Structure 1
Amino acid sequence: MTANTVTRKSRRFPRFGTVLQFLVVLVVAAGIFLPVYLSFVSAFTNNGSFARDGLFPGLDQFALGNFREAVTSIPLVQEYLVSVGVVTLQTAAQIVTGALAAYALVFPKWRGRRIIFALVLVTLAIPGESLVIPNYELVSQFGLRNTILGVAVPFLAAGYPIFLMRQAFAAVPIEIWEAARLDGSGDIRTLFTVIMPSCRPQVTTAVIWSALAAWNGFFWPLLITDTAAARTIQVGISQLATSESSTPSVIFAGAILVVLPTIALVIGAQRFLINGLSRGTLR
């Protein structure tokens, strides 16, 4: 048997390890996408279709009334707008504070910056639940309970955006910063017009992380709000699940309305997300 024959057979029949790897990936993908499929099908079909028709209901079961009922059962539109406001405020604040802190930890030479950076990393290991009571007392003392600002105040700065942008800024050649300073550019102008544009993938990753964390917040908005005027969409969906008039299909419809913005955000910024997570160096 010649070498060419062996090469042709190896190309024709994949190796056992490759086939096994493909099967494992296929099983994992099925386990991930099956709940998503069930949620979408339940949201677009009449209640109880799964019990009658199985996993593949007929087209005659297709209906949009579940979404209409989900919107009318609770003030879903108002809570949607509240969530958008919280996400906008919280994300913008975390990016600005994270960029300022990262810039201070990388470019200006000052004693103790490594210790401060280590303290920032320590905050990543602190459970958020341990800060609920101090945050609640602080927000209550400022009279911000049941307000959009009260929902966002404890999260105007976060450790992970600081860490991510610090690692990105550390990969920027110091000569670029020195050239900007020699041209008379101040620190703020250098940061927002020179440093951040050169680290766009990592900054975009930080934006996505902050936006998803703000959108998916549940326990704190539930604790600090009393009325629908300041409640976020996650709290509204939990109320939809406990509503007497809601059916499983209506709950699934509400869940789809909640998850669609996050899916669109991740898909739209996927290229920046992958680049931002794969780039960066320790310094």
Structure 2
Amino acid sequence: MISIDIRPTPTHTGAGTPTRPRHGLRIRSRKVLRIPSIGTIIRFLAVLVLAAVVFLPVYVSFVSAFTPNGEMARSGIVPNPAHVTLRNFHEATTAIPLLREYLVSVGVVTLQTVGQLLTGALAAYALVFPRWRGRRLAFGLVLVTLAIPGESIVIPNYELVSSIGLRDTVLGVVIPYLAAGYPIFLLRQAFAAVPFEIWEAARLDGAGDLRALFTIIMPTCRPQVTNAIIWSALAAWNGFFWPLLITDTAAARTIQVGISQLAASEAGSPSVIFAGAVLVVVPTMLLVIFAQRFLINGLSRGVLR
């Protein structure tokens, strides 16, 4: 709250004697305590309830991973610090080749993310800047692929990968997903927001299509490009059904398949399973936390043109 106080303000001469007073404005601010409305309180409580529903399973998983089997049930939701142990992680990594499967997942994520970024950027560039007939039809076909369930193309993919001799290999896991519809859609919308004059100026300056794409267009759409990278990386890391179907040995098996086998192993006690689940969840949590700003910017910029 701001109050205006009008009082005569005396002026002084150089000798220190006051002269005729002049009216001046003195602005004083007062802090007023505002009581939140009932609607605000209800929304705040609803957010707290939703946050508890989301974070309670994560909290239970982390606590159970660091406590002996059954200790969580005896001590309640707050564990005894004296019982904290890393034995569950040791048993999880020795019961099955979890570390090897971890590295395989990292390789799958890297190859699949790079492949989807390259194919998505090239397809989006072709759908926006070169003027050719059928661009809208081609973009419509890309949107149609988003409505096709992944399970409906598993059998054709399995027959194709098996026929070229890549079954039970890392490449066999990656090849069917080197291109995806969502990165193409996201990057196409982002590129469409770039002024066409920028591309024309680059072409007149002698830049080829690849140079214009990788040195001008993609740096301009950095938030959306980062969003596409994050989406592809999370999709590759969380893949389960296809790696389970196409692999037979641990040499090409991903971490998601390894966790399911950990539950069926002899050492698959609840605490050991929770420890393996924590090893799977931590990379995705760190990726989302550190890239949250890019996710928000990528979803809010350049997608409505």
- Please, what TM-score do these two structures have when normalized by structure 1? 0.96
Residue pair 1:103, 1:166 contacting (<8 A) in 2 also:
yes
2 CA distance for matches of 1:173 and 1:43? Answer: 52
User: Which residue identity is paired with 1:172?
Assistant: V
Residue 139 of structure 2 corresponds to 117
Q: Deviations over 1:18-59 (max 9, x none)?
A: 000000000000000000000000001111012211101111
What is the percent sequence identity of the aligned residues? 76
Report whether the alignment pairs 1:256 with 2:278: yes
Equivalent residue in structure 2 for 1:46, among 64, 68, 88 = 68
**Secondary structure at the residue paired with 2:295?**
helix
Equivalent residue in structure 2 for 1:167, among 166, 175, 189 = 189
- Judged with a 3 Å threshold, the aligned counterparts in structure 2 of structure 1 residues 17 and 103 are, in CA distance, closer, same or farther, namely same
Residue 97 of structure 2 corresponds to 75
Residue pair 1:170, 1:282 contacting (<8 A) in 2 also:
no
Q: What is the total number of aligned residue pairs between the two structures?
A: 278
Q: CA RMSD in A?
A: 1.5
Residue pair 2:68, 2:84 contacting (<8 A) in 1 also:
yes
**Secondary structure at the residue paired with 1:12?**
coil
User: Which residue identity is paired with 1:98?
Assistant: G
2 CA distance for matches of 1:269 and 1:111? Answer: 38
2 CA distance for matches of 1:101 and 1:207? Answer: 15
1 CA distance for matches of 2:162 and 2:183? Answer: 27
Residue 13 of structure 1 corresponds to 35
Greater share of helix: 1
Q: Deviations over 1:48-106 (max 9, x none)?
A: 01221110111111001101111111101110111011111100000000000000000
User: Which residue identity is paired with 2:95?
Assistant: S
Residue pair 1:46, 1:63 contacting (<8 A) in 2 also:
yes
Residue 27 of structure 2 corresponds to none
- Please, what TM-score do these two structures have when normalized by structure 2? 0.89
**Secondary structure at the residue paired with 1:144?**
coil
Residue pair 2:92, 2:267 contacting (<8 A) in 1 also:
no
Deviates more, 1:261-270 or 1:181-190: 261-270
Report whether the alignment pairs 1:233 with 2:255: yes
Task: Choose between structure 1 and 2 for higher RCO, CA contacts under 8 A separated by at least 6 residues.
Answer: 1
1 CA distance for matches of 2:39 and 2:31? Answer: 16
Alignment of 1:62-211 (within 5 A): 62-211=84-233
1 CA distance for matches of 2:303 and 2:48? Answer: 33
